[in-house]
Amino acid sequence: MVGWQSLVVAVVATASCACTLTGGQDDASPPVEQSTTDPTPEAITGGAGTGAQVGENGSDDAASPSGADPNGDLFALLGAEDQIVVQTREGDLSILTFGGQTPVDGGVNASQPVFSGDGTRLVWTAPDPGSAAGTVVIADVDDDGSTAVTATISTPLVSFYNAWAPGSRDRLAVLGTTRSGVGLAVVDVTEGTAELADVGTPYFFVWDRDGSGLVGHVAASLRTFDFEARTGLDLFDVNPSFRTPAVLSDRSTAFVAADNLLPFAGRNALIRLDAGPDGLVGATATGVARFEGTGTFTLSPDEQMLAVVVEGSLETAPIFSASTHAAGFQADDGLDRGLHLIHLETGEIRQVVDAPVRAAFWSPDGQFVLSLGFAGRVDGITWVIWQVHDREGRPVTQTDPFAVSREFGTSYLPFYDQYAQSTLLWSPDGTRFVFPGMSEEGDTGIWVHQLPSGNAGPRTAKVADGVIAFWSPG
């Protein structure tokens, strides 16, 4: 991901904390359910169909309760239809199911693995070290996790981001570095072609729901791009420190960040653009909130809620009380560091986390939001905690402290709002999420956290070795 990081402006590469919104948690909120991290988490070893556990003494014949399935945590945490793509530090890919791990056909020296929307295909980047061009590899994924390469397509750039078009398993867009800046190429799997379509720095985008175009933050503008006409139109000046626009699927509304032109605290502003007769061209702009630092926005899948993370260093994003800055766009509109939820119909803004937050991901049904906060320890390791809140802002569960993998922390988290468009940490049913990291006991690998349900409390368990993992949406 070096190409993206080097071109996206220094403020993105240095963003490491976040800011919060008005108000605190309701005193009547239920207590957060702390997960239990298995002190000797099971790990999957071997190839396809294996599920050997590592026991307390490090042996492969670890004891599980009498009568329990030998695959242990996999059968407890994964269902028959669940699939997770896992990447090792060496770039080896595998598909994890409740039956174990299956190596991905041709998945070596790979990066940026992404499932299609129906989960039946997987794409990844396979760069050619001797060329400025790159390669994407597409494989079909069977129900049992086995794969078969169906296409290897040369691209005019080395892709550091892959995103399937909505509802498609034959078309995707990729981003990579060109001589003129960040380039966007469109890959046609059926035709076996990849054509450069647009260039700009930075380049962040959201697919149109029919796959005919996109809405993006390109250079210093909100841009629409029509792939058939091969034309782009810059609509609105935006702040270069913000990344991916939040856009309703019918293009009726978009959220961006721009300079705050009002004489009140907060150098940046969250702007709502409502389309007119000509769409987003000439849209009506309304200020929603002000903030310091970098603001990032992710839309809930039902398009009723907007999650806002305000990032920035402790030096560049001073905390201020929203209640003392009531003048401006609306009452109590100043956003401090942290995570905030905005109800799009009512305009209500709710504080969810009042401490630094690094990223936020909606569950597929939009009922929960997963955020990554800091554990506040000073020992040379950046310890983080995954937290889950419901859409009303009530805490649901959180993990023990973890340190995320270097690959996830440097290549994905700085651009989490873009990856939220194409990858899933959440299981399709919204009951679990997956992440790569190291526990306090020093166990590294891929972990699954299960939310509390009924009489069962939350649980976190290691399920594989690796540094990157994403759930299949299929």
What radius of gyration, in Å, describes the C-alpha atoms of the chain? 22
What phi and psi, each to the nearest 5 degrees, are found at residue 44?
-90, 130
Q: What is the pLDDT of residues 140-198, one digit of tens each?
A: 999 999 999 999 999 999 999 999 999 999 999 999 999 999 999 999 999 999 999 99
Tell me the three state secondary structure of residue 157. Answer: coil
- The CA–CA distances, whole Å, from 189 to 147, 153, 212, 218, 246 equal 16, 8, 16, 25, 27
Tokens of 53: 């556990």
Q: Whole-angstrom Cα distance, residue 53 to residue 462? A: 10
Question: Pick from 449, 347, 451: which is nearest to 394 by CA?
Answer: 451
DSSP code for 397: E
Residue listed under structure tokens 């003392």: 324
Tokens of 155: 């691209």
The amino acid present at 363, given as its one-letter code, is S
List phi, psi (to 5°) of 415: -130, 35
Cα–Cα distance for residue pair 38/176, rounded to 1 Å: 40
Nearest alpha carbon to residue 276 among 330, 323, 332, 236:
236
- pLDDT (tens, 9 = 90+) of the chain, 474 residues, equals 434 433 332 222 223 332 222 223 333 333 455 555 553 333 322 232 322 222 222 333 332 222 223 345 788 899 999 999 999 999 999 999 999 999 999 999 999 999 999 999 999 999 777 677 899 999 999 999 999 999 999 999 999 999 999 999 999 999 999 999 999 999 999 999 999 999 999 999 999 999 999 999 999 999 999 998 889 999 999 998 799 999 999 999 999 999 888 776 678 899 999 999 999 998 999 999 888 888 999 999 999 999 999 975 433 433 333 333 333 333 345 677 899 999 999 999 998 998 889 999 999 999 999 999 998 777 889 999 999 999 999 999 999 999 999 999 999 999 999 999 999 999 999 999 999 999 999 999 999 999 999 888 999 999 999 999 999 998
The Cα–Cα gap between 25 and 387 comes to 14
pTM for the model stands at: 0.82
| pLDDT, averaged across the chain | 82
DSSP H or E run through 416: helix 416-419
Q: How many CB atoms lie within 10 A of CB 91?
A: 18
Rounded distance between C-alpha atoms, residue 445 and residue 437, angstroms = 6
Tell me if 213 sits within 8 A of 197, measured CB to CB.
no
Contacts of 401 (CB under 8 A, 6+ apart): 375, 377, 383, 384, 385, 440
Helices (H), ranges, 63-178: 73-77
- Cα 121 from Cα 264, distance rounded (Å): 49
**Position 473: which residue type?**
P
Collapsed DSSP state (helix, strand, coil) of residue 249: coil
Work out the burial of residue 462: count CB atoms within 10 Å of its CB; fewer than 13 is exposed, 13-18 middle, 19 or more buried.
buried
CB–CB of 51/100 below 8 Å?
A: yes
Determine the Cα–Cα distance for residues 156 and 193; give it in Å rounded to an integer. Answer: 10
State the first-to-last Cα distance of the chain, in angstroms, to the nearest integer.
Answer: 26
DSSP-assigned beta bridge partners for residue 371: 360, 387
- Residue-level pLDDT at 183: 97
**Per-residue pLDDT, 35:** 56
| DSSP letter (8 states) at residue 452 | P
With H, G, I as helix, E, B as strand and everything else as coil, classify residue 253.
Answer: strand
Q: What is the pLDDT of residue 72?
A: 55
